[in-house]
Structure 1
Amino acid sequence: MGLDLLKQLDVNLHPASGAIDQLAVTGSAEVPEPPPSQPDPGEICSLTMVRGHPEEADLHEDSSAEEEVIALLTDEESVLTEQDVRTAYLELAHSAHDGIVRMKQALRNLAWWPGINREVEELCRSCERCQHSDAVLSQRARPAPMQPVDLPDRAWSKLGMDIALPLVTVVAGGCSDSDQCHVTTLAAGADAPLSLTFDLPTEEAPLRPGPPAWSNYVKGVVANFKGGVVPFEAVLASTVPLGAGLSSSASLEVAMYTFLEALTGRKAESLREKALQCQKAEHEFPGMPCGIMDQFISAMGRKDNALLIDCRSLESTLVPLADHQVAVLITNSNVRHTLTGSEYPSRRRACFETAKVLGVKSLREATMELLKERQGDISEEDYRRARHVITEIARTEAAAEAFKKGDYATAGKLMNESHASLRDDYEVSCAELDHLQRIAAAVEGVFGSRMTVGGFGGCTVTLVKKGAVELCIQKLKSEYAGSATFYVCRPADGATVISA
């Protein structure tokens, strides 16, 4: 039924139309906070050893140890990495069998590492005492919802600008006659199995993450949809390439939420609320501590506009980008370098530590003058990390003003400067992205070019005159050593409901 409806939509699912975060969605026809003082990052792991070997610990009998650990882990100003938190929590939760209930109850909303409880469950799968504790936990009242935070950006309370572009994620389907939900994905690169059936979540039997990986984005949204859902059948299709840094996960989450709104007739209080629930879904089910920008632009994008997003206040402002003689060219390098997992945590920690040295709550409140004054108190690497953050915030504000004035030359210059800063100061680029950026920036008619999103592979975004698009693509094809994919775009609308 869902596949037939998808065919009726006659949606063009080819990459030639190109872009970021844009969603086309169908339903049935019926229808964070500033971080207190910080302990040494190593101190938290030593806590498990203070009262003996982890295997001998019993937090049920020594609640003071439990409370001390919880206080450290939930400290909003913590500069602990995810690895610090994971190591301490796994040891404590598994070794203190009788105390695991209180530990989980206190930490299950912990934003640092949403997937920790799933690791504990895997670790304790064959342990009768842990299984008993999980059973007790499932009978308790659910804790208060996790407060929205913007983890990757929280160290500097980021100000960012995004555009929604016409690559699409389509969810087609309707109510089911059964008492279950059935979902099939047609997305290229999705892991098997491509179809999944699951029961509606209840207080006694909540949805849980699990394979296939793509299904966790669906289940996370179902679990966080306000007002409850009804049994449904749905088919997913997407032109947003997976793993390219074009926010395919946010695209799917917001598409799924919009589908459920159409299916149930219950809409989120606001687009911001919808985006926050989708962010929460990604934190809790795929276990990715993502920021809020991708979900915001997926939900709030508007045709011929960029979106200026304040990740501190969660306010957003439309920025006109209405000149149709200017295009956006997305170039997918089709490379993704394997990371150790410490790259971004180490950068966030550097930002927190530098902010503390500067005496500000976040780098959003810092200036280059202040950073230069305290340069002698900061390591050379941390100085460069902070310099990128402070100057990038200024560039974002300046770019928004340039776009409002139609000053694309200035906007493009700021894009080039941004890429240089990401490459040299923040060090999240790679040789392939640098090569693509250099080629594009040198083409006549190109205003500017930079890497997108996470870096270490993925895509570049180039602001270019419409008449120079083909020349730019040809230059990139002929000079880039790899095999790139191109998407020529204009800013488009965010998620919407379409009917067959």
Structure 2
Amino acid sequence: MSSELIQLVKQSFVERFKTDPILIFSPGRINIIGEHTDYNDGYVFPAAINKGIAAAIQKSDSGTCTAIALDLNSTVEFELDKLKPVKEGSWENFVFGVVAEIQNSNKALGNFNIVFKGNIPGGAGMSSSAALENSVVFGLNELFQLGLTKQEMILISQKAEHNYVGVNCGIMDQYASMFGIENSALHLDCRTVESQPYEINFEDHELMLINTNVKHSLSDSAYNDRRSVCEDISSLLGIKALRDATETDLKAIVDKVTPENYHKALFVIQENARTIKAAKAIKSNNLDSLGALIYESHMGLSTQYKVSCDELDFLVAQAKKNELVLGARMMGGGFGGCTINLIAKNETKNFAKEVSKAYKNKFGKDCSVYFVKLSQGTHIVN
């Protein structure tokens, strides 16, 4: 969490609204393994990070609400009883969606002002959207004493994304952002929405993110398409979700689905199994095994689920050439964003330099390298 970010948001709020706000920090997340398994009721392995959204919020005595996105230098005024989604891709939908879903749950809100700013790179697959949704719901819960539990808050954030943003996301991003534990990753069962924290101490190794700095426009529509494929196959199998299927079950309907869709479902079943194996590898500190699972995950995302892109595949191929990188894969919805790499600490500088040069030569643009700390979830900043 950046204290400069918090200060900047507070200062902007006080200058504009002449009153002291409540301050919230809501983190983004990484995901070690378990991609596209969350909306299949499966397992995932995320962790909250020390990059996220800082928000300042307070009651408004004017007849309207005001929200200010400092990053975008953009302001919107709105009325609580006249909310509807605005054009696709607008940041306002994240705020409007949360407010509308709180009201749909029969909680009374008054007018408020909110100012926010983030330090998560946009489109990096670190869930700046879930961090924003959580900061709004958490702030409003505090401000108007709504009595919502964290569990209820993340469901409101998720519904906002479904109904206002138009992305049928699973629960992982909102959960990791809200429930994160310092220095730990959460092995989350997306059916029960309960998690087991695993302390992450890779000793001589660490997690390094490399951002392709691309986000191909396919991502949202392809995401919703993948989700509907998974739901169709589940209903063919007569099960609630692919989490309940085995590879043998899938083979029984091979002639009833297209080869492409067969491989998408197969990926989900295999990825779910990999997350369970990854938990065991972390517990026994078997980093070679964890790294191998991470590489397998990318191969499946790229060739079976088909949500990777040239830039992500290139970064993973570069990682494979270096024996001090134990595992690498694309992270997030796909078609851009970051790779996550499990790498020896004494190799990070060298690899960062090598891969940056190779990427620039290949694509004519820069990639960005980040290191993150695993941090606590959404909270009030005193």
Number of the residue aligned with 2:93? 216
1:6 aligns with 2:3: no
Number of the residue aligned with 1:244? 124
Confirm or deny: 8 A CA contact 1:27 1:498 kept in the other structure: no
Distance 1:418 1:233, change over 3 A: same
Query: Which is greater in Rg?
Result: 1
SS at match of 1:285: helix
Cα displacement string for residues 390-439 of structure 1 (whole angstroms, at most 9, x for unaligned residues): 11010011111211222222111100000001111111111110001111
Q: Which one of the candidate residues 277, 287, 294 is aligned to 2:156? A: 277
Distance 1:266 1:219, change over 3 A: same
Number of the residue aligned with 1:442? 321
Distance 1:206 1:405, change over 3 A: farther
Q: Which amino acid aligns with 2:85?
A: P
Q: Which one of the candidate residues 278, 286, 295 is aligned to 1:407? A: 286
Q: Which one of the candidate residues 49, 55, 62 is aligned to 1:178? A: 62
Number of the residue aligned with 2:373? 490
Cα displacement string for residues 280-329 of structure 1 (whole angstroms, at most 9, x for unaligned residues): 12222223222211101110111111112222222222222134543221
SS at match of 2:45: strand
Distance of 1:276 and 1:418 partners within structure 2: 27
Q: Which one of the candidate residues 173, 176, 198 is aligned to 2:78? A: 198
1:161 aligns with 2:45: yes
Distance 1:322 1:411, change over 3 A: same
Q: Which one of the candidate residues 306, 314, 322 is aligned to 1:427? A: 306
What count of residue pairs does the alignment treat as equivalent? 351
Q: Which amino acid aligns with 1:275?
A: I
Q: Which one of the candidate residues 320, 337, 340 is aligned to 1:461? A: 340
Distance of 1:253 and 1:342 partners within structure 2: 21
Deviates further, 425-434 or 482-491: 482-491
Q: Which amino acid aligns with 2:78?
A: F
Q: Which amino acid aligns with 2:77?
A: T
SS at match of 1:166: strand
Cα displacement string for residues 81-135 of structure 1 (whole angstroms, at most 9, x for unaligned residues): xxxxxxxxxxxxxxxxxxxxxxxxxxxxxxxxxxxxxxxxxxxxxxxxxxxxxxx
Percent of matched pairs sharing the same residue = 34
Number of the residue aligned with 2:273? 394
Distance 1:464 1:175, change over 3 A: same
Number of the residue aligned with 2:83? 207
TM-score, length basis structure 1: 0.64
Q: CA deviation at 1:155?
A: 6.8
Distance of 2:69 and 2:248 partners within structure 1: 52
TM-score, length basis structure 2: 0.83
Number of the residue aligned with 2:191? 312
Q: Which one of the candidate residues 112, 115, 120 is aligned to 1:235? A: 115
Q: CA deviation at 1:466?
A: 2.6
Distance 1:155 1:477, change over 3 A: closer
Q: Which amino acid aligns with 2:295?
A: N
Confirm or deny: 8 A CA contact 1:444 1:468 kept in the other structure: no
Confirm or deny: 8 A CA contact 2:167 2:224 kept in the other structure: no
Question: When you count strand as a share of all residues, which structure comes out higher?
Answer: 2
Q: Which one of the candidate residues 18, 28, 36 is aligned to 2:22? A: 28
Q: CA deviation at 1:153?
A: 5.3
Distance 1:340 1:392, change over 3 A: closer
Distance of 2:9 and 2:115 partners within structure 1: 13
Distance of 1:268 and 1:422 partners within structure 2: 36
Distance of 2:245 and 2:306 partners within structure 1: 21
SS at match of 1:167: strand
Structure 1 residues not aligned, in runs of 5+: 11-25, 30-151
Number of the residue aligned with 1:363? 242
Distance of 1:325 and 1:267 partners within structure 2: 44
Q: CA deviation at 1:264?
A: 2.7
Distance of 2:109 and 2:136 partners within structure 1: 12
Deviates further, 279-288 or 173-182: 173-182
Q: CA deviation at 1:247?
A: 1.1
Distance 1:341 1:230, change over 3 A: closer
Distance of 1:236 and 1:155 partners within structure 2: 29
Distance of 1:365 and 1:417 partners within structure 2: 21
Distance of 1:163 and 1:5 partners within structure 2: 21
Distance of 2:166 and 2:9 partners within structure 1: 35
Distance of 2:7 and 2:109 partners within structure 1: 21
Q: Which amino acid aligns with 1:171?
A: A
Distance 1:154 1:255, change over 3 A: closer
Mapping of residues 311-350 of structure 1, within 5 Å: 311-323=190-202, 325-339=204-218, 343-350=222-229
Confirm or deny: 8 A CA contact 2:10 2:21 kept in the other structure: no
Confirm or deny: 8 A CA contact 1:27 1:171 kept in the other structure: no
Cα displacement string for residues 155-210 of structure 1 (whole angstroms, at most 9, x for unaligned residues): 732221111111120002423332322221112xx4xx7011222x2xxx342222
Distance 1:447 1:257, change over 3 A: same
